[in-house]
Amino acid sequence: MGIEVSNVTVRFGGITALSEVSVSLSPGQIVAVIGANGSGKSTLFNSITGLVSVASGSIRIDDDEVIRIPPHRRIAGGLARTFQTPRFDPRITVEKAVLCGFYPVARSGFVRSLLHTPGSAREERTIRRECDGILALFKLDKLRSVPMGELPMGQVRLVEVARSVANKPKYLLLDEPAAGLTRVEQELLSAEIRNLVARGVGVLLVEHNFNLVQQLSEHVVVLDRGSILFTGAPAELAGNRAFVDAYLGTSGH
């Protein structure tokens, strides 16, 4: 069980964005990925979700090789992610944005929902109820009718995380979810991540804030120009602030 990235290499033309990278993630575990800008963190996520093709190596999800499996099937199989720069239609409401997260696995499918069969009406009620639960969890219920274009970036990121958990993923990849969040929003997000993990979700977390990394994860992977520089407990890095500063590309707050 888990996600097993083994010796993955990704190239963009002449650039080697990932070089023989191996990372594993178990259910109920948080693994943090840190590294300066351009070190390959988002590319690692893109290779797991199938948005970039892998030159060599293997990616197994729950023991199935997924290298040749298209992204939508990886997502239907229990994988979810957030994007470093969330893109929502600015006109859709917060509620619609979160509802979007449900549809890929809605059981009755698009054809039945177009026909408005009783089964799909029942399913829609269930989805709306679950959506209300998620909005409440992320304290977004009062904002449900606000268009996405009117939210500050911190709240857009919270909506992005809320959307990503709608399908009850087994594995969740969070790409800098805390960037731009207020301290209160960050605490809300940390608590939610902990809840998900307590329920057995495996979380891969790209995060610049080393304090958050230390709070949340027992295992950290440091990427440097596409290669793994360190893998181990965050505590082993905490004593070496210069190292952290150099490889986070920020002061680590």
Ligand X SMILES: Nc1ncnc2c1ncn2[C@@H]1O[C@H](COP(=O)(O)OP(=O)(O)O)[C@@H](O)[C@H]1O
Does position 42 interact with Mg ion (CB under 5 A)? The reply is yes
Q: Least distance from C-beta 159 to ligand X, angstroms?
A: 21
Q: How far is CA 251 from CA 123, 128, 174, 248, in A?
A: 48, 42, 21, 7
SS3 66: coil
Does position 84 interact with Mg ion (CB under 5 A)? The reply is yes
Q: Which is nearer to Mg ion, 238 or 246 (CB)?
A: 246
Q: Least distance from C-beta 110 to Mg ion, angstroms?
A: 32
Does position 40 interact with ligand X (CB under 6 A)? The reply is yes
Round to whole Å and give the CA distance between 104 and 163.
12
Round to whole Å and give the CA distance between 43 and 53.
10
Is residue 146 within 8 Å of residue 88, measured between CB atoms?
no
Does position 82 interact with Mg ion (CB under 5 A)? The reply is no
Does position 19 interact with ligand X (CB under 6 A)? The reply is no
Residue whose C-alpha is closest to residue 166's, from 214, 94, 114, 234: 94
Figure out which of the listed residues 1, 6, 7, 15 binds ligand X, where binding follows CB under 6 A: 15
Is residue 41 within 8 Å of residue 206, measured between CB atoms?
yes
Does position 43 interact with ligand X (CB under 6 A)? The reply is yes
DSSP state of 233: -
Q: Which is nearer to Mg ion, 31 or 166 (CB)?
A: 31
Does position 50 interact with ligand X (CB under 6 A)? The reply is no
Figure out which of the listed residues 25, 41, 74, 169 binds ligand X, where binding follows CB under 6 A: 41
Q: Least distance from C-beta 190 to Mg ion, angstroms?
A: 20
Is residue 232 within 8 Å of residue 32, measured between CB atoms?
no
Round to whole Å and give the CA distance between 215 and 32.
11
Q: Determine the interface stretch with ligand X among 34-42, 62-70, 142-150, 182-190 (rule: CB under 6 A).
A: 34-42
Q: State the residues that interact with ligand X by CB under 6 A.
A: 12, 15, 17, 35, 37-43
Residues that bind Mg ion in the complex, under the rule CB under 5 A: 41-42, 84
